Amino acid sequence: MPNNKLQVGSEIGPLKRVIVHRPDDGISRISPKRAEELLFDDIVYLTYMQQEHDVFTAVLKQFVGEENVLETETLLCQALGEDAESKKEMIDMIVDYEELPTSFRETFQQMSDEELAHVLITGYYEKEDYILFDPIPNFIFTRDIAVVINDHIVVTKAAKEARFRENFITRFIIWAHPIFKEPKAQGRIINLNKVDLFPPSKRGEMISVEGGDVMVINKDYVLIGCSERTTEHGVRSLARVLLDKGVVKNVVQVNIPQDRSYMHIDTIFTQINHYDFVAFKPIIIDGLSSTVEVMRAEGSSAFYPSVKEFLLAEISPKIKFILSGKGESPYQEREQWTDGCNLVAIKPGVALTYDRNPRTEEAFEEAGYRVVDARDLLKAFEDGIIEPSEVKNTIITLPSHELSRARGGSHCMTCPIERG
């Protein structure tokens, strides 16, 4: 029987189940001319990218168990086999959106679930050597497609057209897959793509909220970045529902510069321990082009000049900040760009990051953390030198020559659906 539990009450609780996506064949079809359009900053060498991602998921599996690291293509395949009517609706939606000939409705229906899942993700029909539609290379960043807040799941809405098919696929998985059956029956799914419930504003501003802008600080506070990818109307609309349903008591809107360098709040700020946050100093500490508003369930609001001031005042005065590039220019800008602030915690004090930010690594060591290469740690597990349960106060560095070219770190590549 599938595990139907959804529960994420913080950014650091012990990770129990997580959704990931291994870089797929569609990524190898991105040309330099189309990279920007498809939201990639560079073309990548797929084989190496997959090898790097395999190291990443191997570490996750050691800590949470292989069966609890869920691959999106597998989930999609399983969902396609669950509900014939929903599958038909999904096919109709894709054919219409991608402007394919109507004959492809029958073509898709005749495919095996495995073949159809692969085609829907990669856009390539191998049997006929037919490129049906664009790849969705950003699907590796599963953080953005959905977010669990306490016992509810929010199906997010992408800002850019290049990610719309990710939305279709995610909505289908959450609607049809057995692991989401209970939340669905209990009304614990918030789908931002339902325009009747989440219409544009009176001034025509569309809703977009991406998961990289949503952080569950604790069971009472959720932080949402208003950024290049998440609109203020999106923040306000989601805040209203979360507060009205009693999902949280406080929604914190953080306004950050609308710049690709800081496309989501998790590119400049993540939590790795009870009182430790990794931060990009100019925005998070100094409040450069940033303001914070706390919206409370009873209707009042509070304002702060920076994320630092908010955290110290409302979360804990014990909070400390580990700065990307040790807070010094130009290193802080360089290492923020290469995801030095974008870490995912496996449990309090143990987090994953890329292996390309040396000054930030020094800052971790000065803060009392051990920095260890992921491959060395996996070898130590294999040799029985240490158990995952014994790993404490450790930053695990991932090979990232190709992964980092896609402009997203370990936090971006995970969609936690259950934490302890």
Closest CA to 153 of 343, 418, 345: 418
pLDDT tens across 10-48, in order? Answer: 999 999 999 999 999 999 999 998 888 888 878 899 999
Alpha-helical (H) ranges within 259-403 are: 307-310, 331-337, 358-366, 374-382
| CA dihedral over 331, 333, 337, 341, signed as positive or negative | positive
pLDDT digits (tens, 9 = 90+) for 194-252: 999 999 999 999 999 999 999 999 999 999 999 999 999 999 999 999 999 999 999 99
Confidence of residue 1 (pLDDT cuts 50, 70, 90): low
Q: Assess if residue 202 is contained within a domain.
A: yes
CA distances from 399 to 52, 182, 354, 357 (A): 6, 38, 6, 11
Coil/strand/helix, residue 221: strand
Average pLDDT over residues 284-302: 96
- Would you say residue 6 lies in a domain? no
Could you give the C-alpha distances from 85 to 174, 256, 317, in angstroms and in order? Answer: 15, 42, 53
Quick one: average pLDDT of 397-412? 95
Burial of 357 (0-12, 13-18, 19+ CB in 10 A): buried
Specify the 3-state DSSP secondary structure of 132: coil
Domain boundaries, position 145: 15-419
- In whole numbers, what is the pLDDT of the chain averaged over residues? 96
Q: pTM here?
A: 0.96
2 occurs within a structural domain: no
Amino acid at position 90, single letter: M
pLDDT for 2 equals 63
Local confidence band at 60 (pLDDT 50, 70, 90 cut-offs):
very high
Model confidence over 89-142: pLDDT tens digits?
999 999 999 999 999 999 999 999 999 999 999 999 998 899 999 999 999 999
Is residue 333 included in any domain, yes or no? Answer: yes
- Which is higher by pLDDT, 376 or 4? 376
Question: The domain spanning residue 229 has which CATH number?
Answer: 3.75.10.10
170 pLDDT above the threshold of 80: yes
- Number of structural domains (the chain) is 1
Q: In what order do the strands lie in the sheet with 214-218?
A: 214-218, 221-226, 250-255, 291-296, 301-304
Instruction: Answer yes or no: is 179 within a domain.
Output: yes
